[in-house]
Structure 1
């Protein structure tokens, strides 16, 4: 997965994270993931970098989650959750910053700064 910030300009935490990085002189490609959704393979790589299961990247409080009839305990496999995220990128937790083979979720935004220690 290439370096960048998976960004949703309508999300306040995503905007805060992007501004924080820019204020610190970090210039990363901005990937508006709703316009250019990550593939299942890219999502799997993001999970690997974060050390999480795909379900942990799902925004379960998003209205779309309920609209789709999804549930945290529905027995979906990791592959099935990756497919859900690939098909419905609005459900993807954000922002996600990827830098030099590491990743962090910007919740809170300051959490991503650890990726740039020693750059």
Structure 2
């Protein structure tokens, strides 16, 4: 089943949900700010996206700028920062079996549904 990691306060994330609804596919919505991801889940998502952990970080978030930006962090430390501060995770993320995309722009989602 398709999963969308969603933040309802984000317009791009809402557009991602709309794309899935308009495509008439079954999907599960995971509000990752409420249902914190485990480290294993986040590592799996990063692997499916085929990116480095830093590429999933929202670098304009205040918490990133104040607490992490000036530091040299390992991939593991970046993952831990996202687990502890889920607002740092780019959104929306859509996973369909063994494929995943970041929905920025939201039209990226069409590549995996």
TM-score under structure 1 length normalisation: 0.90
Match of 2:77 among 75, 80, 89: 80
Which residue in the other structure is 1:18 paired with?
Answer: 17
Structure-1 separation of matches of 2:23 and 2:43: 29
Structure-1 separation of matches of 2:10 and 2:33: 12
Which 4+ residue blocks in structure 1 deviate beyond 2 angstroms? Answer: none
Q: Secondary structure at the match of 1:31?
A: strand
Structure-2 separation of matches of 1:40 and 1:53: 15
Which residue in the other structure is 1:70 paired with?
Answer: 68
Q: Does 1:7 align with 2:3?
A: no
Which residue in the other structure is 1:101 paired with?
Answer: 98
Matched pairs, number: 113
CA RMSD, Structure 1 to Structure 2 (Å)? 1.3
Structure-2 separation of matches of 1:76 and 1:19: 36
Which residue in the other structure is 2:40 paired with?
Answer: 41
Q: From the superposition, tell whether residues 83 and 45 of structure 1 become closer, same or farther in structure 2 (CA, over 3 Å).
A: same
What are the ranges of 5 or more consecutive residues in structure 1 without an aligned counterpart?
none
Deviations along 1:61-87, one digit per CA (max 9) or x if unpaired, are 0112123x211x622111111100011
Which residue in the other structure is 2:87 paired with?
Answer: 90
Q: Secondary structure at the match of 1:34?
A: coil
